[in-house]
Amino acid sequence: MKKSQLFHACLPLFLFTLSPGRAAVYQEVGGVVVIEAENFHSRTNHPTNLHHWHIVPKEDGVDEFADAPAFPDGGFPNARGDKYIQLLPEGGFNITSAAGFAGPPWVDYKAYIQNPGRYRLFLRRRGYDGNSDSIYGQIVELSDGPGGTVADWYRYSASSTINFNGAWSGSAAFEDFTIALPNVNAEWEIQNPGIYTIRVKHREDGVALDTVCLQLTTIAAPTDPGPDES
């Protein structure tokens, strides 16, 4: 069989595997993997209070959840691709303890890392005020329990403004619920190639996430609007 014939014979299976965009595993290339927030692998809602990661504007007024008819922030301009996700409904549901952190809501992204090394997690996110801008980020497979030297999770905070301009942040507090620790680079040592799960969960509801970027620490921090999606 010719190469062209083989390609076309495999194409339907390839498209079936990756379509429709969600539930895909993104490929790190050259030490960088970038994922638009709305292209999550999966999302898990809170079991009782309806909090969930809502795709703006795709699910506005059409999803199954009882969102407020108008968002408190009126929407965040300058999102990449004019889409982002937001933890709704907004109303003071904050996760500030280990008990709350253990459960959903959260959103997961899958990335295949082929080049081991030290990686830093950048999140392009916003909040409409200081009560809606905190968020947690973790790599599920990299954990050594509370008090260890590996970051089980980081707390990103202080990113409230009206739009996504300049919203990249790669600094966060190491395993801190109370806003008592200073920010450091949100980094992990990835020693082996493989599929890793980037999990994002809110600290304060109302927080909005536009893009996730995991990259080697030797690469300069992303600038607006940032590298293309992987």
Q: Using one digit for the tens of pLDDT, what is the confidence trace for 126-141? A: 988 888 889 999 999 9
Cβ atoms of 90 and 71 within 8 Å: the answer is yes
Contact 170, 221 (CB under 8 A): yes
Find out whether 126 and 167 touch, Cβ atoms under 8 Å.
yes
Q: What is the pLDDT of residues 176-207, one digit of tens each?
A: 999 899 999 999 999 999 999 999 999 999 99
Confidence bin at 63 (pLDDT 50/70/90): low
User: pLDDT tens-digit profile of 67-119?
Assistant: 544 454 568 899 999 999 999 888 888 999 999 999 999 999 999 999 999 99
Flag whether pLDDT at 4 surpasses 60. no
pLDDT bucket at 10, cuts 50 / 70 / 90: very low
pLDDT score of 229? 97
Give me the pLDDT at residue 179, please: 87
